[in-house]
Amino acid sequence: MSLNRKKELSLIAKEFCRDLRANQTNSENFIWEIIRNRKLFGKKFLRQHPIFYDMLGKESFYICDFYCHELKLVIEIDGKIHDYNKENDKQRDMILSLLGLNVLRIKNKEIKNSISKVIDKIKNLILELENKLTHPKSLS
């Protein structure tokens, strides 16, 4: 892919991200208020962050609802539309996993019904990922 094409793709992603940030769902706003400004274990999260990838010579991107680079953690908030996009979500999760990223999917319904369980789920995953980073398995 040419440099001009990469720059063009980056500009497209940037525009999409801006639009998504301006039109976040209530559930996304709620989670953002909990994790923004390093409020959760001092971890820096970005919202509506593009992840670029190359699949068989075709470069593209996914926009993650929330992303923590330090933990390689993607948090996706799934609304009703995701009930009809399960195959797309599965493919997306597979690609993100191949990129070395951990994906946590949370349904809007979970946020509305039991936010404390959702927060615990996020906290537990952060602690698990931190533990893996500080205590990697030995190669022997």
What's the whole-number mean pLDDT along residues 122-140?
A: 85
Helices in 23-102 by DSSP H: which ranges? 26-35, 86-98
Copy the structure tokens of residue 121. Answer: 């789920």
pLDDT at site 83: 66
pLDDT > 90? residue 139: no
pLDDT at site 1: 46
Confidence of residue 137 (pLDDT cuts 50, 70, 90): confident
37: left (phi over 0), alpha (psi -120 to 50) or beta: left
pLDDT at site 87: 83
Question: What is the set of domains in the chain, with CATH numbers?
Answer: 3-134 (3.40.960.10)
Handedness of CA 10, 13, 14, 15 (dihedral sign): positive
Residues 68 and 44 sit within 8 Å (Cβ to Cβ): yes
| Lowest-confidence segment of 5-19, 39-53, 109-123 by average pLDDT | 5-19
pLDDT > 60? residue 62: yes
What's the whole-number mean pLDDT along residues 45-68?
A: 93
pLDDT > 60? residue 114: yes
